[in-house]
Amino acid sequence: MSDKQFDVVVIGGGPGGYIAAIRAAQLGFKTACIDEWSNAAGKPAPGGTCTNVGCIPSKALLQSSEHFEHAGHAFADHGIKVSGLELDLGTMLKRKDTIVKQNNDGILFLFKKNKVTFFHGRGAFAGKLEADAGYTINVSGPTTDTITAKNVVVATGSNARQLPGAEFDEKLILSNTGALAIDAVPGKLGVIGAGVIGLEMGSVWRRVGADVTVLEGLPTFLGAVDEQIAKEAHKLFTKQGLKINLGCKIGAITKGANDVTVEYADSTGAEQKATFDRLIISIGRVPNTNGLGIETVGLQLDERGFVVVDDECRTSLPGVWAVGDVVRGPMLAHKAEEEGVAVAERIAGQHGHVNFNTIPWVIYTSPEIAWVGKTEQQLKAEGVQYKAGTFPFMANGRARALGDTSGMVKFLADATTDEILGVHIVGPMASELISEAVVAMEFKASSEDIARICHAHPSLSEATKEAALAVDKRSLNF
């Protein structure tokens, strides 16, 4: 096999792509990964949206802004006096960029370690080889080349959805990309969309001084979240100062020299107008197949632009697979990673597995929101008989010591078998606490199983145990 011939070529170096490439190489395949992301210096920046303008930089800014807010408000309760507090936004953004580069470089190191050949550029199908022997892939950009592959994994991710009439310029009208790089704290910040990105970015800029207004089209807040948890979160975010307006119908959006005006009808139908220094639009994401050469080989897309795959991520073409945001299912980095591993193992003749029912969801606001499995409203709609148990963090000793007692843990279990059907958390470190629930559900555990397990004291995880006890109405500390 020549240097231009590969067993597996992965197009896209985001979480699904780079993980698929590494796992394929571990399984003995000659593997390449193509990715076009570049940093400010023009160097390769694999990791996709997640690493470059998504999960990683947003968490960096969330952490920095939370420190700033704590120093200005919460430290006094701990007997720590801070005078002359000021924000150095340039340093905050530079720290974020450093963390992104560390992750980029880490992926490049992993490619070398696992003997994955990396091509810096855009990968596109150029044609099929004879006798179904694979595909020709062109690489264009910083690297120009033509390679062949027996198996191709499409992992090209997603792009921010545009709002018609309000195209992103990343200066006044911002996607997630621009929202992570505002060079001065805006006096008034508008956010269209109260989803994960809208709430996280709104929280970042509110903490450092912006007056943030969120405009959401749906009449309910966080409709995918358990209703009881969502109501608690809405109350807490409003108390913090986020102005959340539900049931808004967006009209004209007009850019001025240094501001953006949004016309909208509120939930009562009354016409409103608001002017912002910056406007973040976060109304979802769309699959990215731009420049992939799908017409060349006849790769099938559905009516929404997603690559059509079966339950095992096989596309309409033999030897072509697709994972992550470009296919059906939740647009989550960890879902993409699991699909990447599963596809590599399926190519090797193994039985890769992804359980969509136990994929955790997290919103990294403060308090954090995390959940896995069914919500109470889903169980009601499906006619499933269930039991519920909740436990508030205000009754948890570790939460009191931390100074963050907001929120609760909620368990939902089958009324007959007691099998855990869903766990929902709003509160401190929810993103870490949810993993216990994921493990429990993978092993088909009952709420009684969690209730009987010894949890360290004092710890936030005791709230999980207590919520499990509450399913049987025998919580010990509330």
- Residue keyed to tokens 């359980």: 355
Q: Is the pLDDT of residue 62 over 80?
A: yes
* Residue 303 known to bind ligand: no
Alpha carbon distance 227, 77 (integer Å):
32
Alpha carbon distance 141, 163 (integer Å):
29
* Residue 200 known to bind ligand: yes
The DSSP annotation for 285-326 comes to EEE--TTS-HHHHT--B-TTSPBP--TT-B-SSTTEEE-GGG
Over residues 137-157, the mean pLDDT reads 97
Q: Is the pLDDT of residue 67 over 90?
A: yes
Q: Is the pLDDT of residue 275 over 80?
A: yes
At 202-216, the pLDDT tens digits run 999 999 999 999 999
* Residue 157 known to bind ligand: yes
Q: Is the pLDDT of residue 3 over 90?
A: no
Short-list 167, 169, 155, CA closest to 20: 155
* Residue 126 known to bind ligand: no
Query: In the chain, pLDDT over 90 holds for what percent of residues?
Result: 99
Strands 320-322 and 145-154, bridge-based pairing = parallel
User: Does residue 57 have a cis bond before it (omega within 30 degrees)?
Assistant: no
Strands 117-120 and 31-35, bridge-based pairing = parallel
Over residues 449-471, the mean pLDDT reads 98
- What domains lie within the chain, and their CATH numbers? 5-159+286-348 (3.50.50.60), 173-283 (3.50.50.60), 360-472 (3.30.390.30)
pLDDT at 375: 98
Measure the N-to-C terminal CA separation of the chain; round to a whole number of Å: 67
* Residue 209 known to bind ligand: no
**Burial code of 258-268, b = ≥16 C-beta within 10 A, e = fewer?**
ebbebebeeee
* Residue 193 known to bind ligand: yes
pLDDT at 131: 86
Number of other CB atoms surrounding residue 301 within 10 Å: 16
pLDDT at 28: 98
- pLDDT bracket for residue 132 (50, 70, 90): confident
Alpha carbon distance 63, 86 (integer Å):
16
* Residue 17 known to bind ligand: no
87-90, long-range: CB < 8 A, 24+ apart: 87/185, 87/208, 87/209, 89/183, 89/184, 89/185, 89/208, 90/183
* Residue 284 known to bind ligand: yes
* Residue 195 known to bind ligand: yes
pLDDT at 89: 98
- Residue keyed to tokens 């850019």: 255
Q: Is the pLDDT of residue 2 over 90?
A: no
- pLDDT bracket for residue 454 (50, 70, 90): very high
Q: Report CA-CA distances (Å) from 136 to 9, 208, 250, 335.
A: 10, 50, 45, 28
- pLDDT bracket for residue 261 (50, 70, 90): very high
Supply the residues annotated as catalytic. Answer: 457
* Residue 223 known to bind ligand: no
Q: Is the pLDDT of residue 1 over 80?
A: no
Phi and psi angles of residue 455, each rounded to the nearest 5 degrees, phi first? -110, 145
Up-side HSE of residue 291: CA atoms within 13 Å toward CB? 13
* Residue 327 known to bind ligand: no
Whole-prediction pTM value?
0.97
* Residue 403 known to bind ligand: no
* Residue 196 known to bind ligand: yes
The DSSP annotation for 257-274 comes to SS-EEEEEE-TTS-EEEE
Number of other CB atoms surrounding residue 166 within 10 Å: 20
